Amino acid sequence: MAEVTYREALRRALDEELDRDERVFLMGEEIGRFEGSYKVTAGLWAKYGPKRVRETPISEEGFVGAGIGAAMLGLRPVVEIMTINFIMVAQDMVVNHAAKIRYMFGGKVGVPMVIRTPGGAGAQLTAQHSQSLEVWFAHVPGLKVVAPSSPRDAYGLRFKLSRKLPACPGSHEQLLAHCRALLAVHETGGGSVCRAHPQVFALVASGELHASALSLLKKHLTSLPRRSWH
């Protein structure tokens, strides 16, 4: 067991997928020599080279479209958009192409790709860099949208989604460096149920919801057994 940050869990998942399947490659702005804005891809360009970790121009619509084409032809792209706010530039590619192609081709052609992007407020960034737009894509048939709230869930959920349908994982920017958890070397799986109750189901999806969800439960669900909330 080792304590890892959220970003380290993501990096481990990417590293393992690149090593497991030669069809997997990464693409995005400044993810190679600069190692990404949040250092999630640190070391991967040096390890796998520019063919597997591809740096792109500042053209979200263009490189998301390139990822869709690569996925249709049998590759497994993991496309990084620097922040979810910039995904609006590629909205047509995500909603009308990545999500729809499998249905338009009668299931004969799929788009097994991942679009990975952070978002959220609270990091003293500008208004255009502080939005949480995951819910938009949750309403789009043909996409899988996940926003894990812990390193364990991020590692377990994200990249196995790329094997069938387009997936749009989102992560809160403040979780990347400050959220830590113990992670076994080969731990895999899905999200965890932190606390069960027959009348309550709360899905804590991202960093902003941690405090608000727990506060709401503490205030209104007094019938729950008194235990630690940590």
| Catalytic center residues | 60, 129
Total residue length of the chain: 230
Q: How far apart are CA 111 and CA 142, in angstroms?
A: 10
Parallel, antiparallel, or unpaired for β 180-183 and 2-5?
Answer: antiparallel
Of the candidates 46, 51, 41, the one whose C-alpha atom is nearest the C-alpha of residue 15 is 41
Largest CA distance in the chain: 56
Distance of CA 58 to the CA centre of its chain: 20
**At residue 2, what are phi and psi to the nearest 5 degrees?**
-140, 140
User: What is the SS3 assignment for 198?
Assistant: coil
